[in-house]
Amino acid sequence: MNAIIEVQDVSKSYGGVVANKRVSMTVQAGGITGLIGPNGSGKTTLFNSIVGYHPIDSGSIKFEGREISKMPVQSIARLGLIRTFQQTRIYGAMDCTKNMLISLPHRKMKFLDAFSKPGESDHAKADRLLEFVGLYEKRFLSAGSLSFGQQKLLEFAMALMNEPTGLLLDEPTAGINPTLINGLIDRLKRANSEFGITLFIIEHNMRVIMNMADKIYCLAHGEMLAQGTPQEIQNDQRVVDAYLGTH
């Protein structure tokens, strides 16, 4: 497999606090890559840098071979690299269908097109994806009335409206009722296998990430601590120590 995301010697500081220090990693196209680490290890900072929210201080970030470290968020999204957040970013007063349709402009529409009404094919696509995440029956309910887990499923479906090549998910199972987690995992795996979307996932739930990822990277104190298969990571004493606070 080819690398779809290449991070090389990336450093990022905030007012003297080093969040990432010379981090290097690759995300293979078509796979599921995990990013783990204790709180404050720099995971979210790295995600934000990859998609353009926080420009890096030094290093290189490439997406499909193209340098993106100086590009704004919208330009990176139009290339096909999208991210979701720990706290959902939905429009609570709108129904689910309208949330889906408002997601369209990011990649497919030109600026002037953003003010035109979505067509039948857009509505059909929204319906298909709401069906895919299990929210079709709730499509006319306000997004704010959904449970937190359902709101995460809606945000996932909204991301899929952009037909991303790569999708970065920040704590997709955090705050979700345990009964919904398996359904979410199944849909993430299907998005990877059926739609061919490369997934890059930050996850604290070790059971989830060990069952999903092909390769896992572990950050600690802003630096790359370990990398390998789920089995290798589970058996890496440095990772165990980092989580137990002895690193």
What DSSP letter does each residue of 57-110 carry, written as one string? SEEEEEETTEE-TTS-HHHHHHHTEEEE-SS----TTSBHHHHHHHTGGGTT--
Average pLDDT over residues 87-112: 75
What mean pLDDT is reported for the chain? 89
Q: Are residues 143 and 174 in the same domain?
A: no
pLDDT, residue 120, reads: 85
Q: Are residues 172 and 159 in the same domain?
A: no
Q: Is residue 96 in a domain?
A: yes
Considering the entire predicted model, what is its pTM? 0.89
Number of domains in the chain: 2
Q: Are residues 208 and 95 in the same domain?
A: no
What digits encode the pLDDT tens for the residues 126-182? 999 999 999 999 999 999 999 988 998 999 999 999 899 999 999 998 888 888 888
Q: Are residues 72 and 124 in the same domain?
A: no
Q: Are residues 1 and 76 in the same domain?
A: yes
Q: Are residues 68 and 93 in the same domain?
A: no
Band of residue 6 on the pLDDT scale cut at 50, 70, 90: very high
Q: Are residues 55 and 176 in the same domain?
A: yes
Supply the range of the domain harboring residue 158.
Answer: 89-163
Q: Is residue 122 in a domain?
A: yes
Q: Are residues 219 and 146 in the same domain?
A: no
CA max distance for the chain: 57
Average pLDDT over residues 89-118: 72
